[in-house]
Structure 1
Amino acid sequence: MATLFRAIRHNGKAAAGLLILIFFLVLAAVPDLIAPGNPATITNDVSLGISGQHWLGTTGFGQDILVQVVHGARPALLIAVVSGLLATVLSVLVGVSAAYLGGIWDDVLNLFTDVVLVIPTLPLVVVIAGYFSHHSITVMIIALVVTGWSFGARQLRVQALSLRNRDFLEAARVRGERRSYIIMFELLPNMTSLIVANFLGAALYSILTASGLEFLGLGDVNSYDWGTMLYWAQNQSALQTGGYVWAAVPGLCIALLGTAFALLNNAFDEISNPALRPVRRLRVAS
């Protein structure tokens, strides 16, 4: 762990992505300390600009934009992290099991992965989220997991196939270790970098897709997060009536959180891939 943090500290992309992510984690952890108040509270100050009382102004309904933005960080991160984690777990279960077990298991699980891969993702997630939109965040997470695991499973299967016949795994088989032990304690630790990259990619997909669905009104429009803020800003023609902050700030937060996951994903690949590090050092030296 110490080696990982040391590597992140010396990688500009990783450090920038981690700082952005920590900023939003703080917002999600203690929103009442940063912007106390209820995001649903309606005041008499309708469509107010930036002021000392309302630092980012108010919405067309009289709600404080700063309070909504800060309190919206928690559901956004919850969707990204939980969806990314569950999709990654499913990818590991399907992809690694198929590669290591081989035979009929590989054929069946690989066929299942291929079928999910060829299904158009956007229409499927729109149908799921739209049909069950009244169930809010739970169904949103399920929809994102169902549509977001297959690509990672294919990547993990390929990596596991390349490791399946390595000497250290053969040695574990000769010792008489169980298949579950070999997968958990011999195979998966050697795939850590790819699993982490898979999680970061799934989290990025989740936050962008969830925000897009909420913007279209396919989430719970009565909740308060960045996607629904964009929905209500568009619904009330905020850009046409001068409410630029109402539309711009939640959009900027979504973009920054997505950038954090993307930077960490790219940087982690550079950190964990031995083929990239010498090339980059040679370029710097020249």
Structure 2
Amino acid sequence: MSLGTTAPIPNQPEATAEATLKQPGRLSMRLADIRRLLTQNPKVLIGVIIVGFFVLVALIGPLLVQKDPTFSYPDKLAAPSAEHWFGTTKLGEDVFTQLIYGTRSSILWGFLTGIFVTVISVVVGLTAGYFGGLVDDIISLIINVFLVLPAFPLAVLIAAYIPFKGSITVTIVIALTSWAWGARVLRGQTLSMRKRDFIEAARSSGESSFHIIFWEILPNQLAIIAANIIGTVVYVILAEAGLEFLGLGDTTTVSWGTMFYWAQNNDALLLGAWWWFLPPGVCIALLGAGLSLINFGIDEYADPRLRRERIPKAILRKLRMLQKGQ
């Protein structure tokens, strides 16, 4: 399964992880490696362009629009026009303005939550894998408990019983229910790495466990972590939109999820107001596709067996000449 899937928590292929660990020197994701990814892998380039566009909209979009997304215009539930590019809501709010402001909120909290989830996975997974023994048994038990629990239904249950609603609440709920798979993958790779020669050498030289975990083991798992964080961000954005659609977030703020919530509450589908719910849906799909394409590229970077190497034109020319000679 590809790392770019939007399953509850994206699966990490064992073959990819094994291939990654065989090449510790290449896992630092140096600038040259990133440049090679962008120039030689069209998936990564397209994904970076899509994600970069949304990040740019999130950063400067509200500065250019400079309108109140909750302001009510006289035109109620108006179709897209020159005055209102994406139409208006039942209250007369401009959908295009809401989409621009919602992009900032959704991307900001989506990426922050994805990073937060990944940090938890890294700390828990590397700690369990490095120390082993009783520490590993206890942490593995906790990981397995969270793995067998359905993540999104559990997030809905927790969010429903939290008295205060808001983006931070959604972030905490998603983080609590989404860290286990990444931690399990990193634990497994750390278990196979902790007996390697360079780890034994660092341990013999008197390095602390903290130094070995975060300065020796962690850099050799950056490809897996990078793929995990991107896949997690995809899930987080979808889960956040889902929780807000169910009214479990702060419905007074403007985001892609709350746009869905108010469109559903006001029967936009029955009224034929497709312009109310379609734009945020397209944005979520495009952003998810862009992140997934980057994930596919990192997957191919980590596992050479997934790579499609380009044959130089000179060699292709010689091969054609040989075929013609035959």
TM-score range, shorter chain: over 0.9
Displaced runs of 4 or more, over 3 A? 282-286
* Alignment partner of 1:165 is 2:183: no
Aligned to 1:281: 309
Q: Distance in 1 between matches of 2:203 and 2:92?
A: 66
Alignment partner for residue 174 of structure 1, among 191, 204, 217?
A: 204
* Alignment partner of 1:59 is 2:80: no
* Alignment partner of 1:186 is 2:216: yes
Q: CA deviation at 1:9?
A: 3.0
Give the superposed CA RMSD: 1.8
* Alignment partner of 1:68 is 2:98: yes
Give the aligned length.
284
Q: Distance in 2 between matches of 1:54 and 1:205?
A: 32
Identity %: 42
Aligned to 1:147: 177
Q: CA deviation at 1:193?
A: 0.4
8 A contact 2:169–2:249 mirrored in 1? no
Residues 134 and 283 of structure 1: is their aligned pair in 2 closer, same or farther, counting only changes over 3 Å? farther
Aligned to 1:13: 43
Q: Distance in 2 between matches of 1:275 and 1:164?
A: 25
Normalising by structure 1, we get a TM-score of: 0.94
* Alignment partner of 1:236 is 2:263: no
Computing the radius of gyration from Cα coordinates, the structure with the larger value is 2
Alignment partner for residue 26 of structure 1, among 39, 56, 68?
A: 56
* Letter in structure 1 aligned against 2:294: L
For the residue of structure 2 that corresponds to 1:53, the secondary structure is coil
Structure 1 unaligned residues grouped into runs of 5+ = none
Q: Distance in 1 between matches of 2:306 and 2:239?
A: 30
Q: CA deviation at 1:122?
A: 2.2
8 A contact 1:91–1:153 mirrored in 2? yes
8 A contact 1:59–1:246 mirrored in 2? yes
Q: Distance in 2 between matches of 1:117 and 1:147?
A: 9
* Alignment partner of 1:2 is 2:34: no
Q: Distance in 1 between matches of 2:215 and 2:227?
A: 19
Deviations 1:206-228 (A, max 9, x none): 10011111112222111111111
Q: Distance in 2 between matches of 1:281 and 1:141?
A: 40
Q: CA deviation at 1:253?
A: 0.8
Alignment partner for residue 166 of structure 2, among 128, 136, 140?
A: 136
* Letter in structure 1 aligned against 2:62: D
Normalising by structure 2, we get a TM-score of: 0.83
8 A contact 1:130–1:219 mirrored in 2? no
The 5 A counterparts of 1:220-235 are 220-235=250-265
* Letter in structure 1 aligned against 2:225: I
Q: CA deviation at 1:133?
A: 6.3
8 A contact 1:204–1:262 mirrored in 2? yes
User: 244-253 vs 266-275, which deviates more?
Assistant: 266-275
* Alignment partner of 1:85 is 2:115: yes
Q: Distance in 2 between matches of 1:231 and 1:9?
A: 40
Aligned to 1:47: 77
Q: Distance in 1 between matches of 2:164 and 2:266?
A: 22
8 A contact 2:37–2:297 mirrored in 1? no
Q: Distance in 2 between matches of 1:123 and 1:11?
A: 37
Greater RCO structure (CA 8 Å; 6+ sep): 2
Q: CA deviation at 1:282?
A: 7.7
